[in-house]
């Protein structure tokens, strides 16, 4: 059974609570329950943190044994050389995902420090971006 983890970064714990026009109205934990039902043949886990170092620690912890990481690092995508380095330092492949189409938004969201070290980037499909990320590993 493939082991895949979804890692969400800062503020994504607020999904479904505010900014519903951009990020939709579903909270992530209920979406994750749907994902577990959809991918019964996958060992799927979930981690969220608002702290850069905790995201790096999690990547180190799982990054030599898991089959894939679906990573939405939130705003750290656009700021964190350290998370980019952590992705480069592990052997598990990482797919960068975003709920919104970051290229339709402010210029500062157009650059990613993570993408050069990821196998691919998926953005703009709402929560379906996570499904596409998982599918990419199957």
User: Can you give the C-alpha Rg of the chain in angstroms?
Assistant: 14
Residue 71 within binding range of ligand CA2, rule CB under 6 A: no
Whole-number minimum distance, CB 1 to ligand CA2, in Å? 27
Choice between 93 and 126, CB closer to ligand CA2: 126
Are 28 and 12 in contact, with CB atoms under 8 Å apart? yes
Residue 131 within binding range of ligand CA2, rule CB under 6 A: no
Residue 98 within binding range of ligand CA2, rule CB under 6 A: yes
**Contacting residue, 26, 50, 100, 136, with ligand CA2 by CB under 6 A:** 100
79: left (phi over 0), alpha (psi -120 to 50) or beta: alpha
Are 31 and 72 in contact, with CB atoms under 8 Å apart? no
Active site residues: 23, 98
Q: How far apart, in whole angstroms, are the C-alpha atoms of residue 71 and residue 52?
A: 13
DSSP label at residue 73: -
Q: What SS3 state is found at 115? A: helix
Residue 102 within binding range of ligand CA2, rule CB under 6 A: yes
- Considering only 28-36, 49-57, 79-87, 92-100, which stretch makes contact with ligand CA2 by CB under 6 A? 92-100
What residues make contact with ligand CA2 under the rule CB under 6 A?
11-12, 14-15, 17-19, 23, 72, 74-75, 77, 98-100, 102, 109
């Amino acid at each position: 059974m493939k082991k895949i983890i979804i890692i969400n970064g800062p503020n994504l714990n607020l999904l479904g609570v505010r900014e519903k026009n951009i990020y939709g109205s579903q909270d992530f934990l209920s979406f994750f329950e749907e994902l577990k039902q959809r991918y019964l043949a996958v060992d799927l886990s979930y981690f969220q943190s608002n702290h850069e170092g905790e995201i790096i620690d999690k990547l180190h912890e799982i990054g030599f044994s898991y089959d894939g990481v679906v990573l939405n690092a939130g705003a750290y995508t656009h700021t964190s050389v350290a998370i980019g380095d952590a992705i480069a330092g592990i052997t598990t492949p990482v797919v960068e995902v975003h709920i919104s189409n970051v290229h339709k938004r402010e210029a500062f969201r157009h650059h990613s420090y993570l993408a050069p070290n990821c196998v691919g980037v998926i953005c703009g499909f709402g929560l379906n971006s996570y499904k596409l990320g998982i599918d990419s590993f199957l």
